[in-house]
Amino acid sequence: MAEFVVITGMSGAGRSQAANHFEDLGWYVVDNLPPALLPKVREFADAPDSGVSRVGLVLGLNLYYEDVAPALVELKDSAEGSVRILFLDASTPELVKRFESTKRRHPFSSVPPMGVSDAIEAEREALVNLRSEADVVVDTSEYSIYQLNRFIDEVFDLDAGPESVTTRIMSFGFKHGIPLDADLVLDCRFLPNPHWVEELRPLTGQHEAVKDFLLNGQPMAETFLQKTEDLLTMLVPAYVREGKSYLTIAFGCTGGHHRSVFVAEDINRRLINNAELGVRPLVIHRDIDK
């Protein structure tokens, strides 16, 4: 039974780069495939003598706008193996910058004629339903090609088993924007801010002095950590039952240096030690160096 990943999302968000890396990982990749041909690819991949076990399908909306969603539903219903949808997203300012730097025309800019920003927003609106159906959503706004490749490695090249969910724990700063690919966002700004303690300001939530400041004499910190673990112990199995294969939990504070980093590290430790969940957490501190 072949395993399928459908690579879709915003134009300019990295579909081609993702497809190239799937090929490097040994996947059989078909780019710019008309949705009407999806059943033929499935039949080929599922044939006993095809020699194909993992198939990547790159789909955009510029030519086959109305056909993509029903084609994906049919693929999921008919494929014998697993089918996952990877949706690549990025902020509008970042996409504008990418299109302007490459001088490429946005596929949504022709009918009716519109500027790059308007075309991006038109595509984003058209993709709302497809994005909501995706198994994995990643915001590539600040990703290099190397970081996108590493993300794909983490999600699709780890054998976590059918009853597991790849869990990413992220810290971020609200002043840099909420992560577009977060499934759960928790605000840590109720904790006292180490930024206002002069000797703690240059440190991060990974330093013992910051941890001690947030835990000692701050009963709300320990309560929050315990209740967050309890929440995730309840929710993660529910996501698994619904077929979700990737979960991003984001913790935010003002700048992304102290409180959110401390909480992300502590929750990561708790989930690793939680035998009931059996997850493999991956930690990323998005704004720690900003």
pLDDT at 81: 61
Q: What is this structure's pTM?
A: 0.67
Alpha-helix runs per DSSP H in the chain: 15-24, 38-46, 68-78, 92-102, 116-126, 128-133, 145-156, 208-215, 219-241, 259-272
pLDDT at 64: 58
- Kindly write down the DSSP assignment for every residue of 40-95, as one continuous string: HHHHHHHSTTS---EEEEE--SSS-TTTHHHHHHHHHHH-SS-EEEEEEE--HHHH
Going residue by residue through the chain, which has 290 residues, state the pLDDT in tens, using 9 for 90 and above: 788 899 999 999 999 999 999 988 888 999 887 888 888 888 888 888 888 888 999 987 655 556 777 778 788 777 666 888 899 999 999 999 999 888 888 888 876 678 889 999 988 988 888 888 888 899 999 888 888 888 888 777 544 444 457 788 999 999 999 998 899 999 999 999 999 999 999 999 999 999 999 998 678 999 999 999 999 999 988 887 776 777 899 999 999 999 999 999 999 999 988 877 777 788 989 999 98
Burial readout 135-151 (b: 16 or more C-beta within 10 A, e: otherwise): bbbbbbbebeeeebbeb
pLDDT at 18: 94
pLDDT at 80: 61
pLDDT at 253: 97
pLDDT at 251: 98
pLDDT at 157: 59
pLDDT at 258: 97
